[in-house]
Every structure is written in structure tokens, then in C-alpha cells.
A and B are shown apart, each in its own frame.
Chain A
């Protein structure tokens, strides 16, 4: 979480100052847990460029640094909608040097096509990975409380006061992200998740307030370790993060079982992209890193480790069977119909929702 971020910033600074002036470096700003364990070592071995990694757990944090200018980062991993779309409008990215990106041909053409509306001719953004935002669960514990025939693939675990009231002791978390939470609440209510209509937002607010006492905390990354330790039963979670929690629990052999489900009412379908800030000090090295990640074996290794599907058609065959057959990562066509993407909003709409959100969180 943010504390970690400060820690890693310090760490990154130490790395930067320690690195010799002659060695080429590339300053990468990425989400927490979004590379394979050895991605950076492999990159350094392959290119001789020293990668310096700094981490964030929310698009907002990254965005604030980029908008301030002179962030010093060479490569960032924003979520395409609405963030990267907005950043292109603000002019904070530089166009890609396609001639240096030999791996471009590996990208999924359908996905590239779908990005055209925010990034015409794919000039700025390279898709990285994609996933959904659903619920991470400790099913055995939930069934212990709700009974064995409880419905678990539903937002009602969080948004039905009667159900979440029972699960409260066991721990429920919501993301600290107004867009995600309002979309989930609107989905549960059967309304358009992208709605900005006053009446819809008010209904969502009322719903969230009604289950607010049952929420232990609002955080977008802490649930990973809490799910894995068995400190949390239901978490509003990114698909890969919840699945990583499951793997960590398995590795720790602590008897905790974590699953990820896409609720039957629907969920957000999102994609993260790579982009080079306009004021990046080492754009050539950043391009080299993008090309490294476009190689099927590298992106497949990352996917296998972080449990997110990637945008590389050539890498699909290299993925573990466990991933390819996991409906939480590659949802069925039927489930895909229920997924939706975030639409662009005006700054005022974003602020209104955010202030509503602050009020809800603070119980005011």
C-alpha cells in the first residue's frame, strides 16, 4: 500500500544514486506485484540496461506524479480507461518509436483495435495485461457462516446488508477507488455501472452507506496479504491479485483457501498499458524494455506469476494450463457478455463522485 510505496521510493532513490553514471538505466513505475520475480534480472541480462523499479497501488498516485511533471520515470503502466485516455489528452506521453519495437507483431490485433477510440493508430499505448474486478473469497469460511448452499458468485456477499452483516466478523474489504466501488454498487442494483445520473449515484450511495458498518477497510492492495493469511473473507479485488493471494496461501501451507469469482451480476473489464512520459529521461531504454516485454516468453513468464491475461497472442501457448483453464482469468463467452468497460467522465463528474466517496468512507 502507500506506506510500501514510500518505502520503495526510498529504495529506488538509493538504487539510482548508487548506480554508476556510465551504466544505462531505465526508471520503471509499475503496479505492485505486476512482473515475474526475475523479469527485471532477465531484462538486465539481455540488454545491460539497469532497471530501477518503483511501485504504486492506485492509478491516482501515479497520475499525480506524472501531472506534476519531471517525475523522472521512463515507463509507466496506467489503466487504459479512463486514465491513459485522459493522459493522452493532457499530452503527457510521447509517441512510440515503432521501428524499435520488433515484438509489436505479437500483439493481439483485436485488442489493438479496441484501443483505437482512445489512442488513434496506437501511437502512444502498448497493451500489457488485462483482468477483471470481482471478488476474492475464502469460500470454506463463508460456507461455514452462511451454510453450504450459499450463493458465492454474487455482489450480494458485500452489498446485501443481511448477508454482509453475517460475514462482517470474518472480514469484508472494498477497494479505495470511487469508480470501482460505485460501478460495483450500480451493477448490484441492476443499473448502468457508468451512470452519472444524480438519482443513480444517490441510490448507490444509499446502498454503500447501508453496508458501510460491515466493511473492515477500504484499500486496493492490502487485501492480498489479508486474504492469504485468512484475515479476510470477502474482498472487492482485482482478479490477479486475489489469485496471487491464493498462491501465497498455498505456498505458506497455512490451510487458507482463496478463490476469485466474477460476480454473476457483472464486473469491470479493464486493461493496463505501457506508455512513455513525454519528459522521460531515458526514452530509448524504455522502448527497449517495452520490446523486451513484447517477447512472448517474457510476458508469459510474468502472466504465469501474476495471474493476469496478457495482450500478446504469441504468448498464449506458453501460459500454464492452470491459467488458461481458469475462468477467473479467461472468462467464458457467457460471462464475457456481462463484463463492461469504464467510460470517460468529465473532471467535475469524477470529483463529485470522489467527494461522495470520501463522505461515505468517513461515515458523514
Chain B
């Protein structure tokens, strides 16, 4: 009886259930990714005008003539003007360095959490997640209070006699790195932890039995096996960090030229929505390529595992 029921359910599941299961993510992607993408693509091919909305229509219909006018000059400007290339390269650099810093800090943290006793594990995980209960924006503002010339850090160092005059950290590139690493560290730690917690301890014991020293067994067993976690964590840090706007705007100095900020300028100061859209799509393309590459790499590891 139960077996029959189960078979019946699985049939239904294979039919409509499966379609729904597969369809939902697609509908989600179409509404929240494809449609906005097409709107941005449309704007990027128009011209800025003084009206509401501030860009021209792509199609005009008059005298029974449907005209489609595509303006490619925005993409030309983005590719020709070294300012945009500079901003893009700087954003990639900042994101890459931040990702590496997050990895260096996050790996030992995740490793510790995955190896301590169960009850400590929960407390430590809680401590990683706890900051999310406060708004991201307020946490970044808190860093202004910590890093500013008359701020907590400088006052502490001054009162301890370590420095004689306040350090200039706020509004420098260093402050941007501090902000990004601080904000994105949990996104590195959590996937790494999930991966390291699954690590088969028998392998390490076997390695030890066969005479491998801890360093060797870490480098040859733990590290390679945790690669999917490293990749997942790195993507979660790298991709949002490239387009990051709030942190460089609040903590960074004027020379922390990042593409998110540049887009803001084009959109707000210049009222040039088409150029801002072209810039947004350029970033998207630049991000999608490594994303797909990473995905492939990830897939290969998964396949090898199974």
C-alpha cells in the first residue's frame, strides 16, 4: 500500500511536480534577472534627453513608418575612455585583494569552527551570523566612528602612547579594504565551514597512520578537498565587491575610483542613464565570464567527487 502510494507520488512528482520545481527558479530568473536586464539593455542603446524619463525612445512610429534607432556611442565611450577602464581595473583589483584577504582570515576561522567541540561550534557560528542582525549601512557607519581622526581607534592608540598624532585611515584605500573585508567575511566563512565540516576525518587519520605530518596532510588532503568551499566563498565575496558602492563612498577617499561610484556619477550628476546602463552591462559581462569559468571548475570537482 505504502509502496504504491510512494510510486504514485513519484510519478506525479516526475510529471507536474518536477516541471514546477524546475519552472519556479526560471520564472524567478525571468522576472528578476532577464526583464531588468532587457530594460537596462534598452536604456543603454538610447540617448539622454531632458525629459521624464531622461532617455529617448528606441522606436518611433510616424507616417506608418516604424523606426528603430540604436545608439552605440555609449559602448564606444566606455571602451575608448580610459577613465572607465581604469575604474573597472581598480574595482577588479580591490575585489581580488579583498577576496584574498577574506580567504586568509576566513579559512582559519572556518577551520577552527569546523574542528572544535559541538557546543562551541554553535556559539562560534552564532558570532559569525550575529552582525547581520544590524543593518549593513549602520555597520559601515560605525567604521567611520572607529577610523576617523578623532575616532575610537586613534584615541585608543594615542592614549596608549603608541602613536603621537592621529593616523589618517578614514577616506583612504585602506579603509575601503577594512570595510569590504569586514562586511564580506561571513560570506567566505560560511561556505568554507559547510565544506570543512563535511571533511572525512578518516582520511586525516589514515594519513597520520601512514606517517604524514599535520602540515602535509593539511596541504594534500584538507586543502584540495575544501577547494569547492574556497571557490564558493570567493565568488560570494568577489562578485558583489566589484560593484560595491556604499563602502568606497562612505569610507574611501576621492581617489578610490570604483566602477560602482562612477555609475552613480553618470546616473545622478550627469543624468546620463544610457551611459550608466552601458557601464552596468559591461560589468555584468566581465563578471559573467569568470563566473561561468568558476562554475565549470566547480562542476568538475563535483563530478570527480561522485
Contact = CB atoms under 8 A, between A and B. Distances in A.
B52 A230 contact: no
Interface string A1-31: 1110011000000000000000000000000
A68 B140 CA distance: 28
A3 B137 CA distance: 7
B270 A361 contact: no
Interface in B16-58: 48, 50-54
Contact of A364 (B52, B257, B265, B269): B257
Contacts of B50: 86, 89-90, 347
B255 A362 contact: yes
B87 interface: yes
Contact of B86 (A7, A64, A362): A362
Contacts of B137: 3, 6-7
Nearest to B254: A361
Contacts of A218: 254
Contacts of B246: 3
A350 B267 CA distance: 13
B134 to A, nearest CB: 13
Given A217-B253, A354-B269, A364 B53 contact: no
B250 A3 contact: yes
B291 interface: no
Interface residues of A, number: 41
A67 B86 contact: no
Contact of B254 (A7, A58, A91, A363): A363
Contact of A355 (B48, B51, B53, B270): B270
B271 interface: yes
Main secondary structure of the interface of A (DSSP, over half): helix
A230 B140 CA distance: 22
Given A3-B141, A3-B246, A178 B52 contact: no
B262 interface: yes
A267 interface: no
A105 interface: no
Given A3-B137, A3-B141, A3-B246, A354 B265 contact: yes
Contacts of A363: 254-255, 257
Nearest to B86: A364
Interface of A: 1-3, 6-7, 58, 60-61, 63-64, 66-69, 86, 89-92, 171, 178, 212, 215-218, 229-231, 347, 350-351, 354-355, 357-359, 361-364
Given A66-B52, A351-B270, A351-B272, 15 more contacts: A1-B250, A3-B140, A7-B137, A67-B54, A68-B53, A68-B54, A69-B52, A91-B51, A171-B149, A217-B253, A347-B48, A355-B83, A358-B83, A358-B265, A361-B257
